[in-house]
DNA sequence: TTCCTAATTTGTAATTGTTTCAATTTAAGA
DNA sequence: TCTTAAATTGAAACAATTACAAATTAGGAA
């Protein structure tokens, strides 16, 4: 995403998306909260400031941002979509203990090989699952 | 999985799983159908032969097999888990047009680097999404 | 083999994340 | 300011999965 702070309205306009207060708030939220929130986290947090916010608006806005390729949806969790501001290509680690999703900065050398298979690749996701460093420390391993 | 045909009962026993007709059928199904079915596909297909089969049994059995690390669950789809007989390490491509999940045989060189982050890695999933060769051919590109 | 018991299966109901839809409101161009 | 297509809202529908209690069964013990 890499938006210059507070240029959210301009950012939306540039991408041909009509500017609304709800979209601005959701966009700002995603830009500030890089912890890969799900739709409900976004909804509950933003509803505090704007009680009339609808869950459907959150889903609609996330779909809109996705369709313009401004955010990514992660399917790393088994039960929900998590959303990711697009910064640079990176992969994800899910801790099955605490549920945290951690960014993993590694290059993906797969792409070329897969492309040779003749399929058109639009998205590449590297998902790692296990137990994170912090959880391991808390309980001394396994 | 790589089970010698019809040794399913032995295979379960070896892994400390009580043998039941339902488990044998589900295990056989997964071994024969390498198209990454979801729980409902398994349920609907097996219910034809065994009408008293319960959806819950399918979910339970899949959980059991997973917990013994005999099958893998794929989160590549946004709405459902797809199940994969464990053969050798491989990655997956999801065609967003036809929904097919295709095996991708590439090595994963990430592991070492990620391990250096101090997290314990239990699973590695490489997910590619786009449009498959066949769908591209059908409609001439984009 | 028969009995026993814990584990499994079953079916229904509940839950969760997401989508649909129609009515109301609103952004932004004329 | 007017207009209109698009966005927001809230309720209801949906789909995948889980919870739960009752009935059945696998497999070891007697």
Q: Quickly tell me which residue has 């009680």 as its tokens.
A: A51
- CB of A42 within 7 Å of some strand D atom: no
- CB of A35 within 7 Å of some strand D atom: no
Distance B136 CA to D26 C1' (A): 51
In sequence order, the 6+-apart residues with CB closer than 8 A to the CB of A7 are none
Please judge whether A128 and B124 are an interchain contact, meaning their C-beta atoms are less than 8 angstroms apart: yes
Of residues A110 and A131, which shows the higher confidence score? A131
**Domains of chain B, earliest start first:** 5-85 (1.10.10.10), 91-140 (3.30.1490)
Task: Map A21-67 to HEC letters.
Answer: HHHHHHHHHHHHCCCCCEHHHHHHHHHHHCCCCCHHHHHHHHHHHHH
- Does the pLDDT of residue A1 top 70, yes or no? no
Q: Strand C nucleotides below 7 A of a protein CB?
A: 7-12, 16-21, 26-28
Tell me what pLDDT residue A108 has: 66
Quick: pLDDT tens for B39-64. Answer: 999 999 999 999 999 999 999 999 99
If 0-12 CB within 10 Å is exposed, 13-18 middle and 19+ buried, where does residue B59 land? Answer: middle
Between CA A11 and CA B36 the distance in angstroms is: 40
Residue of B nearest to A108 (CA): B110
Quick: pLDDT tens for A52-107. Answer: 999 999 999 999 999 999 999 999 999 999 999 987 888 999 999 999 999 988 87
CB nearest A73 (choices: B78, B110, B121):
B78
Between CA B48 and CA B24 the distance in angstroms is: 15
Of residues A17 and A104, which shows the higher confidence score? A17
Q: Which residues of chain B have pLDDT under 50?
A: 4-5, 141-142
Distance to chain A for B123, nearest Cα, Å: 5
- Does the pLDDT of residue A22 top 70, yes or no? yes
Tell me what pLDDT residue B123 has: 92
């Amino acid at each position: 995403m890499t938006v210059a702070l507070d240029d959210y309205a301009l950012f939306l306009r540039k991408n041909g998306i009509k500017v609304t207060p709800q979209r601005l708030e959701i966009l700002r939220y995603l830009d500030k909260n890089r912890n890969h929130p799900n739709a409900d986290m976004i909804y509950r947090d933003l509803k505090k400031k704007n009680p009339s916010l609808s869950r459907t608006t959150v889903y609609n806005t996330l779909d809109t941002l996705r369709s313009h390729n401004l955010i990514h949806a992660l399917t790393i969790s088994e039960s929900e979509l998590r959303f990711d501001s697009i910064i640079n290509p990176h992969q994800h680690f899910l801790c099955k203990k605490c549920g945290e999703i951690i960014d993993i900065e590694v290059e993906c050398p797969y792409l070329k090989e897969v492309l040779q298979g003749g399929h058109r690749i639009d998205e590449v996701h590297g998902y790692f699952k296990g137990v994170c460093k912090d959880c391991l420390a808390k309980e001394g391993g396994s």
